[in-house]
């Protein structure tokens, strides 16, 4: 990747809006934009940093748009390079026209995530902050956005840095013992190292204790809606989404494939998946839909088993009840509007399970269902202001590797099995910690992370 040229891109969505932004970064950013900008006062190259300028963007005297323009001098910018941002009207036509002018001046079109990649390579951001930028852009819930903001502020980096310093201090003592074997580690040094190892292990264990919950908070809790045909799965999906997303008919087997949509409940994101009804069938398409339903159910964080409260339990219902994992399931008794009694006559059969009586048709009881979903999702806790949460699998696996290396190092230190082996485990731990923050992360993994960014970020 080149860092010695100047890049440019549209940094806002290409759709009609009140405001659009073109971002230019590199050593030539100011000189490339200057011929295109007609403002009042001093030339652009003498403009104050981080001060808005008012003027026009023109193409050889032909005015294109009135703009606000800001120059951000290196190193006090997002990329640490000279950056110019042009704020114009958010017409896709205008944005493309201005970008084309900048490119004609000699800038190169930025690749996906290249502005953030330059910020990372220049030391402005560590890898946890890079991922937090993407998480904040794509956040689907208030809690997810708060977790991303916490990481963007460097909280996870700081926590990892504390552990690293503890491991480095231990490693320095061990290396000294290897370098001067006649001195070795005396009892007090060994006890000191053990205490520091215990402290570092406890810090990593604390971060990992929230990792699965943090990942779900970031991605959204996967919720599978299952049941036999015509119990109201699609109707319930539409009711929870407050829109007609799934087709609803009285014909059994209408839903042949899974439909996934996201909804936010009390600040937490849920990914709801409407699935094909489970029943015995010879229809090949429906059979494939049922197979996919079972895969979705097995992978889901939570399951909503929908039963028709206005009818007797059928064989398919009973089979699904027997397969339940109660800890992650809520039984939804639908069609309350058709029920003559307060509860169906077979309620005793599922009374030990968590259940909610609703009508997906008129929405009655759905508030209670949402509360149950929120309570089940957050039973492992919500992020507190002073807690550091790992939020993705990459960070989680690297932290697990670091912890495993530390635990192995502790066993070696306790058994006095050899300081050389101990040093190897401590280096493995430091490499794993460095991978979390981007100090020892493989180039192919970095490329994958930045490829998920949009162009202009």
DSSP per residue over 223-234, as a string? Answer: EEEE-STTSSHH
pLDDT score, position 293: 76
**Which CATH number goes with the domain that contains 302?**
3.40.50.300
404: its two tokens: 């495993």
Q: pLDDT tens-digit profile of 396-411?
A: 999 999 999 999 998 8
pLDDT score, position 249: 47
The answer to the question of residue 97 being in a domain is yes
Lowest mean pLDDT: which of 90-99, 242-251, 262-271?
242-251
The answer to the question of residue 70 being in a domain is yes
Check whether residue 330 and residue 199 sit in a common domain: no
Check whether residue 76 and residue 136 sit in a common domain: no
257 φ/ψ angles, rounded to the nearest 5 degrees: -135, 165
More confident residue, 430 or 61: 430
The answer to the question of residue 169 being in a domain is yes
Nearest to 29 by CA among 6, 51, 46: 6
Highest mean pLDDT among 50-54, 175-179, 180-184, 308-312: 50-54
Task: Answer whether residue 85 shows pLDDT above 90.
Answer: yes
Compute, in degrees rounded to 10, the torsion defined by CA atoms 314, 319, 324, 330: -10
pLDDT score, position 183: 52
Q: Is 208 exposed, middle or buried (0-12, 13-18, 19+ CB in 10 A)?
A: middle
Q: What share of the chain is helix, strand, coil (3-state, %, to 5)?
A: 45, 20, 35
Nearest to 358 by CA among 317, 308, 320: 308
Whole-number Å distance between alpha carbons of 274 and 237: 7
Percent of the chain with pLDDT over 90: 57
Please report which confidence band the pLDDT of residue 247 belongs to, taking 50, 70 and 90 as the band edges. very low
Task: Answer whether residue 391 shows pLDDT above 60.
Answer: yes
pLDDT score, position 22: 97
Check whether residue 59 and residue 195 sit in a common domain: no
pLDDT score, position 6: 97
Please report which confidence band the pLDDT of residue 256 belongs to, taking 50, 70 and 90 as the band edges. very low
- Helix or strand holding residue 67 (H, E): strand 62-72
Check whether residue 165 and residue 240 sit in a common domain: no
The answer to the question of residue 322 being in a domain is yes
266: its two tokens: 């009390």
Whole-number Å distance between alpha carbons of 10 and 234: 39
Task: Answer whether residue 287 shows pLDDT above 90.
Answer: no
Check whether residue 193 and residue 340 sit in a common domain: no
Residue 19, domain extent: 7-124
- Helix or strand holding residue 355 (H, E): strand 355-357
Check whether residue 364 and residue 249 sit in a common domain: yes
Check whether residue 201 and residue 329 sit in a common domain: no
Helical segments of 27-121, H only? 29-33, 92-104, 114-121
Query: Count of domains in the chain?
Result: 3
The three state secondary structure string of 120-179 is HHCCCCCHHHHHHHHHHHCCCCHHHHHHHHHHHCCHHHHHHHHHHHHHHHHHHHHHHHHH
How many of the other CB atoms lie within 10 Å of CB of 370? 16
Question: Mean pLDDT, to the nearest integer, of 105-115?
Answer: 95
pLDDT score, position 76: 96
Question: Mean pLDDT, to the nearest integer, of 29-37?
Answer: 96
**Which CATH number goes with the domain that contains 69?**
3.30.1360.120
- In sign, the C-alpha dihedral spanning 135, 137, 142, 146 is positive
Do residues 134 and 453 make contact, with C-beta atoms less than 8 angstroms apart?
Answer: yes
More confident residue, 106 or 318: 106
Percent of the chain with pLDDT over 70: 90
Task: Answer whether residue 27 shows pLDDT above 70.
Answer: yes
Check whether residue 104 and residue 169 sit in a common domain: no
CA distances in angstroms from 268 to 1, 133, 150, 237, 382, listed in the order given: 38, 19, 16, 17, 9
The answer to the question of residue 449 being in a domain is no
Question: Mean pLDDT, to the nearest integer, of 93-106?
Answer: 97
The answer to the question of residue 159 being in a domain is yes
Check whether residue 46 and residue 108 sit in a common domain: yes
Q: What residues have CB less than 8 Å from 293, skipping those under 6 apart?
A: 224, 226, 258, 275, 276, 277, 278
Q: Is 420 exposed, middle or buried (0-12, 13-18, 19+ CB in 10 A)?
A: exposed
302: its two tokens: 């939570």
Task: Answer whether residue 157 shows pLDDT above 90.
Answer: yes
The answer to the question of residue 410 being in a domain is yes
Task: Answer whether residue 41 shows pLDDT above 80.
Answer: no
Check whether residue 322 and residue 428 sit in a common domain: no
Task: Answer whether residue 178 shows pLDDT above 80.
Answer: no
The mean predicted confidence, pLDDT, of the chain is 87
Whole-number Å distance between alpha carbons of 241 and 271: 11
**Which CATH number goes with the domain that contains 420?**
1.20.120.430
Whole-number Å distance between alpha carbons of 424 and 44: 55
Task: Answer whether residue 201 shows pLDDT above 90.
Answer: yes
Check whether residue 119 and residue 134 sit in a common domain: no
Q: Could you tell me whether strands 37-39 and 329-334 are parallel, antiparallel, or unpaired per DSSP bridges?
A: unpaired
Question: Mean pLDDT, to the nearest integer, of 390-398?
Answer: 93
Instruction: Report DSSP state, residue 341.
Output: S
Please report which confidence band the pLDDT of residue 283 belongs to, taking 50, 70 and 90 as the band edges. low
Please report which confidence band the pLDDT of residue 177 belongs to, taking 50, 70 and 90 as the band edges. low
The answer to the question of residue 233 being in a domain is yes
Check whether residue 368 and residue 396 sit in a common domain: no
Lowest mean pLDDT: which of 118-127, 324-333, 439-448?
439-448
Question: Mean pLDDT, to the nearest integer, of 159-171?
Answer: 91
Do residues 383 and 146 make contact, with C-beta atoms less than 8 angstroms apart?
Answer: yes
pLDDT score, position 276: 75
């Amino acid at each position: 990747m080149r860092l010695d040229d100047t890049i440019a891109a549209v940094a806002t969505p290409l759709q009609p809006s009140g405001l659009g932004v073109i971002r230019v970064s590199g050593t030539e950013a100011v000189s490339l934009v200057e011929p295109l900008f007609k403002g009042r006062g001093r030339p652009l190259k003498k403009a104050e940093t981080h001060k808005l300028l008012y003027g026009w963007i023109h193409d050889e005297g032909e005015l294109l748009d009135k703009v606000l323009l800001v120059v951000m001098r290196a190193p006090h910018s997002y990329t640490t390079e000279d950056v110019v941002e042009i704020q114009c009207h958010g017409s896709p036509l205008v944005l493309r026209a201005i970008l084309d002018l900048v490119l004609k001046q000699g800038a190169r079109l930025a690749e996906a995530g290249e502005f953030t990649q330059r910020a990372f390579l220049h030391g402005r951001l560590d890898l946890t902050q890079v991922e937090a930028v993407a998480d904040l852009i794509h956040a689907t819930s208030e809690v997810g956005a708060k977790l991303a903001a916490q990481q963007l502020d460097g909280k996870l980096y700081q926590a990892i840095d504390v552990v690293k310093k503890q491991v480095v201090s231990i490693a320095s003592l061990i290396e000294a013992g290897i370098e001067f074997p006649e001195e070795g580690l005396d009892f007090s040094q060994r006890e000191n190292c053990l205490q520091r190892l215990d402290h570092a292990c406890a810090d990593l264990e604390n971060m990992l204790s929230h990792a699965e919950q943090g990942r779900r908070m970031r991605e959204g809790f996967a919720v599978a809606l299952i049941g036999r045909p015509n119990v109201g799965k699609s109707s319930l999906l539409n009711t929870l989404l407050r829109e007609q997303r799934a087709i609803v008919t009285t014909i059994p087997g209408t839903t042949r494939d899974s439909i996934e949509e996201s909804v936010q409940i009390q600040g937490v994101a849920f990914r709801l998946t409407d699935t094909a009804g489970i029943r015995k069938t010879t229809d090949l398409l429906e059979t494939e839909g049922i197979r996919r339903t079972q895969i979705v159910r097995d992978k889901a964080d939570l399951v909503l088993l929908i039963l028709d409260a206005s009818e007797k339990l059928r064989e398919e219902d009973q089979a699904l009840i027997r397969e339940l994992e109660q800890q992650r399931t809520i039984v939804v008794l639908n069609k309350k509007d058709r029920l003559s009694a307060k509860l169906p006559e077979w309620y005793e059969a599922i009374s030990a399970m968590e259940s909610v009586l609703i009508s997906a048709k008129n929405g009655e009881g759905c508030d209670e269902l949402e509360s149950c979903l929120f309570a089940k999702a957050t039973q492992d806790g919500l992020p507190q202001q002073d807690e550091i949460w790992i939020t993705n699998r990459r960070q989680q696996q690297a932290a697990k590797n670091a912890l495993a290396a530390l635990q192995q190092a502790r066993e070696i230190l306790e058994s006095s099995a050899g300081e050389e082996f101990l040093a190897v485990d401590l280096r493995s731990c430091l490499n794993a910690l460095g991978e979390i923050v981007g100090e020892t992360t493989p180039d192919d993994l970095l490329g994958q992370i930045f490829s998920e960014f949009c162009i202009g970020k």
